[in-house]
Amino acid sequence: MSNLIPTVKNGSESNSGLGFKSLPSLSSWMDDIINKSFGNEFMSNFNTGITLPAVNVLDNNEEYIVEMAVPGLKKSDFDISLDNQMLSISAELSTENDDVNENYTRREFGYSSFKRTFSLPESVETDKINAKYEDGILKVLLPKRDEAKKKPLRHIEIS
């Protein structure tokens, strides 16, 4: 898995006005020691980035729409719940692969999960919330109450 947040190893490559290079950060220095001692194979199995899915929140006249990019999951992997105007969207996925060869057995497994929570405005009609998952995008539709919907512009004549 690739890093989601780019990091600079061994400090910055740019020189300051005095001609000094900045010192490497402690975490960069530790990464270099571990990679030299154990090789890149040791660290390649650790996730060092943030794995929360990207979210868009749209506001139109009729509803709010929460879109979440979560490819590779099934509908059954999600848990969407509402508790006191707090919307929670979470998913949990675990995988196991068995590979049997004549001299060894290798078992690989993985686990990933996330949970995002959103505080809903009072204008959401909570009884009519629904969700759909299609092409790797989860959409949660949050309909607005009638009184919260935007009214058309009305021109007022001056008497």
Is the pLDDT at 129 greater than 50? The verdict is yes
Q: Which CATH architecture group holds 55-148?
A: Sandwich (2.60)
DSSP track, the chain: ---SS---TTS-SSB-TTSPBPPPPHHHHHHHHHHHHH-HHHHTTS--S--PPPEEEEE-SSEEEEEEE-TT--GGGEEEEEETTEEEEEEEEEEEEEEE-SS-EEEEEEEEEEEEEEEPPTTB-GGG-EEEEETTEEEEEEEBPGGGSPPPP------
Q: What is the mean pLDDT of residues 35-64?
A: 66
Q: Please compute Rg for the chain using Cα positions.
A: 25
Pick the closest to residue 7 from 51, 49, 39, 36 (CA basis).
49
pLDDT band, residue 143 (cuts 50/70/90): very high
In the chain, the percentage of residues whose pLDDT exceeds 90 is: 38
**Predicted pLDDT at 48:** 40
User: Among all chains, which residue has been given the structure tokens 């290079």?
Assistant: 21
**Mean pLDDT, the chain, whole residue set:** 74
Positive/negative CA dihedral, 52, 131, 79, 86 = positive
What pLDDT is stored for residue 92 in this prediction? 85
Predicted pLDDT at 79:
95
What integer pLDDT is reported at residue 36 of this predicted model? 53
Does position 7 have pLDDT exceeding 70, yes or no? no
CA–CA gap between residue 13 and residue 24 (Å, rounded): 10
How many Å apart are CA 60 and CA 66, to the nearest integer?
A: 12
108 exposed, middle or buried (CB, 10 Å; 0-12, 13-18, 19+)?
exposed
- The reported pLDDT for the residue numbered 112 is 81
- Condensed to tens digits (0 to 9), the pLDDT of residues 65-122 reads 999 999 888 899 999 999 999 999 999 887 766 666 666 666 667 778 889 999 999 9
Looking at residue 113, what is its pLDDT? 86
Whole-prediction pTM: 0.58
How high is the pLDDT of residue 133?
Answer: 96
> What's the confidence (pLDDT) of residue 148?
78
Domain ranges in the chain? Answer: 1-50, 55-148
The answer to whether 103 touches 25, Cβ cutoff 8 Å, is no
